[in-house]
């Protein structure tokens, strides 16, 4: 069983680079409970080797979609892993974002209600339990929990066993929910190796064929 694919609105892309503006990452609020620590560690390694204009150019090419309230507080709809990695490296790190919606209210519950209505919240914790109440979401990227199954799917996607699907919100979490209900050896985000052989076979099996991003058996 995977997470049901509930109705959602597509996240708009920026109209032009002129619409981008610099934002302080530590002030941004997440729209999900969890991240995969394995991906965070990988991105930290990449960012530590990428400095100056190269990093700026990269961040310009990966802008962050934002929803802003009447107080100027902002919630991110994508790039959680990338921004968390940057923030762990530098508490004053910046990114580039663009606003896709403005909510004329200063109440946190109002903006969370809007985000939920758009299908832009992921309300499951690191054990796959949920949906939780939106007001229990963390208010900082640093407060997000580690979900080892999200790490596992990141690795499988990186290896080419699962296809990307940018149009599907929380695509990797849907795969993680499916794998969570399959028998796998004990593993964690810092050591995925015990689970990888079985997980590779599972995600290309016919049992997974109804999930978006299924590639089928590899030749």
Which of these, 39, 14, 73, lies nearest to 158 by C-alpha position?
Answer: 39
Convert 141-152 to b/e letters by CB count within 10 Å (16 or more is b): beebebbbbbbb
Cα distances from 177 to residues 81, 151, 196, 203, in angstroms, run 18, 12, 16, 12
Q: Evaluate if residue 187 carries a pLDDT over 90.
A: yes
Contacts of 109 (CB under 8 A, 6+ apart): 134, 135
Map residue 22 onto helix, strand or coil: strand
Backbone angles phi and psi of 176, in degrees to 5: -60, -40
Backbone angles phi and psi of 76, in degrees to 5: -100, 145
Among the three residues 145, 162, 178, which one is the final residue of a domain in this structure?
145
How many residues comprise the chain? 219
Radius of gyration, alpha carbons of the chain: 17
User: Which pLDDT belongs to residue 51?
Assistant: 85
Biggest CA–CA distance in the chain, Å, is 54
Residue 161 within any structural domain of the chain: yes
In angstroms, the CA 38 to CA 57 distance is: 24
Q: What pLDDT digit, counting tens, does each position of 35-45 carry?
A: 999 999 999 99
**Residue 15's pLDDT band (boundaries 50, 70, 90)?**
confident
User: Which pLDDT belongs to residue 18?
Assistant: 65
**Residue 90's pLDDT band (boundaries 50, 70, 90)?**
very high
Which of these, 119, 117, 114, 152, lies nearest to 35 by C-alpha position?
Answer: 152
**Residue 131's pLDDT band (boundaries 50, 70, 90)?**
very high
> Chain-wide mean pLDDT for the chain?
92
For residues 182-187, average pLDDT? 97
Measured in whole angstroms, the distance separating CA 189 from the mean position of its chain's CA atoms is 15
CA 91-13-74 angle, 5° bins = 40
User: Which pLDDT belongs to residue 216?
Assistant: 82
147 secondary structure, DSSP code: -
Q: Evaluate if residue 12 carries a pLDDT over 90.
A: no
- 138/151 same-domain check: no
Q: Evaluate if residue 96 carries a pLDDT over 60.
A: yes
In angstroms, the CA 115 to CA 65 distance is: 12
Q: What pLDDT digit, counting tens, does each position of 52-78 carry?
A: 999 999 999 999 999 999 999 999 999
- 130/155 same-domain check: no
- 158/108 same-domain check: no
- 108/173 same-domain check: no
User: Which pLDDT belongs to residue 59?
Assistant: 94
Q: Which domain holds residue 133?
A: 18-145
- 138/152 same-domain check: no
Q: What pLDDT digit, counting tens, does each position of 191-217 carry?
A: 999 999 999 999 999 999 999 899 887
Q: How many structural domains compose the chain?
A: 2
Contacts of 131 (CB under 8 A, 6+ apart): 123, 124
In angstroms, the CA 124 to CA 132 distance is: 6
In angstroms, the CA 179 to CA 85 distance is: 25
Q: What pLDDT digit, counting tens, does each position of 144-184 carry?
A: 999 999 999 999 999 999 998 776 788 899 999 999 999 99
- 97/193 same-domain check: no
In angstroms, the CA 11 to CA 123 distance is: 18
- 48/130 same-domain check: yes
- 26/103 same-domain check: yes
């Amino acid at each position: 069983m995977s997470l049901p694919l509930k109705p959602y609105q597509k996240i708009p892309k920026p109209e032009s680079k002129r619409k981008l503006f610099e934002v302080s990452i530590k002030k941004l609020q997440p729209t999900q409970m969890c991240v995969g620590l394995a991906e965070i560690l990988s991105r930290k390694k990449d960012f530590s080797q990428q400095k100056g204009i190269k990093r700026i150019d990269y961040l310009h090419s990966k802008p962050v979609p934002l929803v802003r309230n009447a107080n100027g507080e902002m919630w991110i709809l994508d790039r959680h892993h990338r921004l968390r990695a940057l923030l762990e490296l530098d508490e004053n790190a910046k990114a580039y974002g663009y606003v896709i919606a403005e909510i004329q209210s200063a109440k946190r519950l109002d903006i969370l209600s809007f985000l939920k209505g758009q299908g832009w919240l992921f309300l499951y914790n690191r054990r796959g339990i949920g949906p939780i109440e939106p007001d229990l979401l963390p208010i900082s990227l640093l407060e997000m929990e580690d979900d080892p199954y999200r790490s596992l799917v990141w690795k499988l996607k990186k290896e080419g066993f699962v296809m990307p699907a940018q149009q599907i919100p929380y695509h990797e979490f849907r795969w993680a929910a499916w794998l969570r209900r399959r028998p796998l050896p004990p593993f964690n985000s810092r050591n995925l190796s015990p689970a990888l052989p079985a997980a590779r076979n599972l995600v290309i099996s016919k049992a997974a064929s109804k999930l978006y991003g299924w590639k089928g058996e590899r030749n």
